[in-house]
Amino acid sequence: MTLNVDAIYTVADPLLGGTNIATLIADALLMTGLFFLGRGVMRTGEYRPRLIRAVVSIPMLVVSLFAITVTFLLIDRGTTTTHFMSDLGYEPAAAAYSIINFVYGGVVIATMLTLAARQYRHSAGIQRLPVGLLALGSAFGVALCVAVIVMDIAHVTGQLPLMYAVQPTYGPLSLLTFLFLCAGFAVQPAVRRAQHYLRDKRTAALAANLEPLWNRATSVRPGLSQADLLVTNADDAEGRLHREIVVIRDAMIDPRITFDTNRAEIALLERAESHLLGRDQTGAASTTNEEDGAP
């Protein structure tokens, strides 16, 4: 995309001979980039049907790159121009070159749309934001590819009014595709970091609330070492919470001792266990109330 910026293209292409070779290089790099984006999206989930694996496969990329190279060499390219398809789109070889390019891009982006839409349906809450942005970006990308293919066919067949009618959509669709895809890929790690931070805070809070119950468990079973828990606490909040739960559960089932718990303590213990298993759906406010002993 950077190589296609006019100011850069007019400097780079003359260095390569001044016959618009930079267009082929830029398009080949863009196709390769889309290939890696498609594979990246595919690997984020377990849904990988054979058709999708075929679309974002290396053989498909190689065949497509070979096809655009062959058709590009058949174009009467002239000298460096920043309006490659506008100037040369009437040539069948140029139309074929562009159509192959955008058919490949459209198929890969449609695959990304399918994967993102499916992941959106299987996500919840804030996790839907990045995949929703990716789905929107992919939808705009598919629309962009369709628009370019329509323009290519209209140009080579002499239907210039149709080409001029579709042409104004190219800029907005390009911008929307770029913005939403970038936003989707950028928001995903940000959401993940936020979730990890909130989980760590929740883990620390649960461990702190369980500590009185854990102290009672260790007092009736003096063989348990409090030093071990302190070491775990310094290194890993989840490790500390896990150890507290194990100690409390052991005390509850040990027939040699008497260790009584009330309903609020049992509820707190079960919430802590659900949290470690990733099944905790309770809010912080309600958790605080229940942990304080509210019914």
Tell me the pLDDT tens digit for each residue of 115-167. Answer: 889 888 888 888 889 989 999 999 999 999 999 999 999 999 999 999 999 99
pLDDT at position 168: 95
**Sign of the C-alpha dihedral computed for residues 284, 285, 289 and 295 taken in this order:** negative
Mean model confidence pLDDT for the chain? 85
Round to whole Å and give the CA distance between 87 and 94. 10
DSSP secondary structure letter of residue 29: H
Q: What are the distances in angstroms from CA 151 to CA 41, 89, 93, 180? A: 29, 9, 15, 24
Q: Mean pLDDT across the stretch 112-116?
A: 89
Lowest mean pLDDT among 6-10, 224-228, 233-237, 240-244: 224-228
The single residue listed with the structure tokens 């019914």 is: 295
Round to whole Å and give the CA distance between 83 and 44. 38
pTM over 0.85: no
pLDDT at position 40: 83
How crowded is residue 151: how many other Cβ atoms within 10 Å of its Cβ? 25
Would residue 20 be called left, alpha or beta, if left means φ above 0 and alpha means ψ between -120 and 50 degrees?
left
- pLDDT at 228 exceeding the cut of 90: no
**Residues in Cβ contact with 90 at an 8 Å cutoff, skipping those fewer than 6 apart:** 155, 156, 158
* Better-scored residue on pLDDT, 29 or 252: 29
Closest CA to 292 of 284, 188, 102, 103: 284
- pLDDT at 288 exceeding the cut of 60: no
* Better-scored residue on pLDDT, 286 or 204: 204
pLDDT at position 125: 82
- In the chain the beta strands, taken as DSSP E runs, fall at none
pLDDT at position 280: 63
Q: At what angle do helices 170-220 and 237-253 cross, to 10 degrees?
A: 40
Closest CA to 246 of 269, 216, 212: 269
Q: Both tokens of residue 233?
A: 């606490």
Lowest mean pLDDT among 148-152, 167-171, 260-264: 260-264
Round to whole Å and give the CA distance between 47 and 123. 14
CB 94 within 8 A of CB 75: yes
